[in-house]
Structure 1
Amino acid sequence: MEDIVAQVKSLAQGVVVATHNSILQSLRELYLSLETRQDTMQRISYADAFCVIWPQLGLSKTGVDTFTANNTTKHLSDLGVRSAVYHNIQSLAPALLELPEFLAQTKYQDITSPVHTPLQKAFNTELPGFLWAQTQPEVFRHFNQFMMAQHADMPHWLDLYPIEQRCEGVAPEQVLFVDVGGGIGHQCVALREKIPAVENKVILQDLDVVIAQAIKHEGVEAMPHDFMQAQPINGSRFYYMRNIMHDYPEEKAVIILKNLISALGPDSVILIDDMVLPGSGVHFHATQIDITMMSVLASHERTISQWYTLMEKAGLKIKQIYTYNNRYDSVLECVPTE
């Protein structure tokens, strides 16, 4: 057995992300196939307790009264990873626990209203998920840190999207990049570092409460804006939205997109950075997020056919899709149909 473990560890060293994830998936499937009934009960029933305790411990017992740091310790020393754990336990787990009863009461209909989800029941609120989170400072702080960490050490959209080529011909006074609902600004900073020679304006937009926590960067202008309202910056070369569309059901997503369309110039494009799922065989990481979106926001991750349907409803067409990692994260380059 030790030889097998050593062989797997050796195989996993220095491989590309796709191969690394494939190895982990195979090992996970092997582990699950070997579980006894007791193993399954222990793993699932203690999952929440493990997540609550281990951010404080992250230790392995190596002997009598002897503990040592392990791989989990290393990962949990990262602020973003810890925030991800707290966010999921504090904000998402209560809603997910309500999901079975909620679906039974609604006769298993699609969840389509952001003010009628398991989250409202879990937290006794009438507010939609994002507005509720903004009333909880600790929840909101962990959420923003989690958003920064969730794509760490993974391929980035700027690794694949031909940003330099698409910047050609930008007028001297033209805004280059508007990050719509961009959180605290890590994508704006990444763009500045990718193309430092392009000095046109880069603008971060989000709600006041988020902008107050924005990263300070001399090349990024922060602007309070609600993307449910008309876009105030006209004619930017890029309007970028990362993980925005998956937060909203169809009706709301169309409104957000139409607010952007009205601001587009002749050479503007909308860049939507989100998951683009295949029609079947989706990795469990994506299905976990899909179920979460349904439970707390009445939304979902979208398949490629659902993306085309959404764009058509909004009055856009997809020029090209750039899938930049094996988690289905993709940039959809979109322009008006007219």
Structure 2
Amino acid sequence: MNRTWFHGVDHLLLWLLCAVVLCTLNFAFYEMGSSDQGYFPENSAVPKRFDDERRNDSRRIFIVFVEGLKTGHLIRHIHKSKVLARVVIHEGAWGEMSWEPPPPGFVGFEPFFTGNPEGFGPSVLSVADRVTFIGRPHIARGLKLPTNFTKLVFPAAGLTSDDDKSFDQVLIEQSVELSATRELWDLSLQKEVAILHLTAVGHANRREGLNSIRGTMALYDVFDQLDRLFNYIRQDYPYSGATFIVTSVGMQVPIIAWGHGIDKAKYPDSRNYQNPGYTVPTIPRKLNVLNMAPLLACLLDSPPPPNSIGELPESYLGLPKRSVALCQTELAMGVKICTTIRPRRS
């Protein structure tokens, strides 16, 4: 009788001790994560995974922003560009990017890289070992690039003074030169992102307001030049395993993605797209602009950025199921929980 009573008291004390320990840990985690109310400093980095969770292969993403790129323009010009015909129909994933619901006012670059409509928190680019931006320096300020690991490339004055070339042509030739000289990617790094910003429009005669530079190229000319650039990159870096993304910033803009980690289109094997009268009848995949940050994070093999409210667009991913499941788990848990459990490493 007495032994049973003492045995019950022991169990009760053990349960009370466990409850005290759990409450203490929960309070400590709350204090660690609640002081910033979910918002991290602007210069904070997206936490990286532990070394045993990271693969040995490197991750590289080449993003091209083309101003003036609209879905209607893309569909009308598919038969004029080899890269559009090949990628849209056979090699990659394409769809239309939008806002749901659409925000009031101008849509900038910040939501694209933070996954947050207000652009709060660090950019997904901060997880990269290096970010190379090719374009006008003032555009780079809106991308929330990590200052310590950013390489800004602006064409030399000798190139921009050539009146026979548009600024877009100069930028593409500069990118080709970076690839040829092996300066585009640093193969000693694990994660790299390159961004090329073009100002193409649906016609060729709009002037840019710069006296030494002629108007921008027509949209289909831009894609023909990009096709040349991407071929050079594949030749100069045959084992880089890069992901290519062409899109714009705004509403009802197309997104074209192909390469490493991207699911291929499910179109039938047909040559109808070579007919000038052919148009893509439907847009198979919709993508909220806030979903780009989780997509880029998964392609870079990293957790999504803090404050990201986007969803992981699995329809674009061609990664192994285990990798996609890990990205989904991290997105569901939230980076805030991950940072309280996992110690930050310098």
Which TM-score applies when normalising by structure 1?
A: 0.24
Which TM-score applies when normalising by structure 2?
A: 0.24
Give the structure with higher Rg (CA): 2
Higher relative CO (CA 8 A, sep ≥ 6), structure 1 or 2? 2
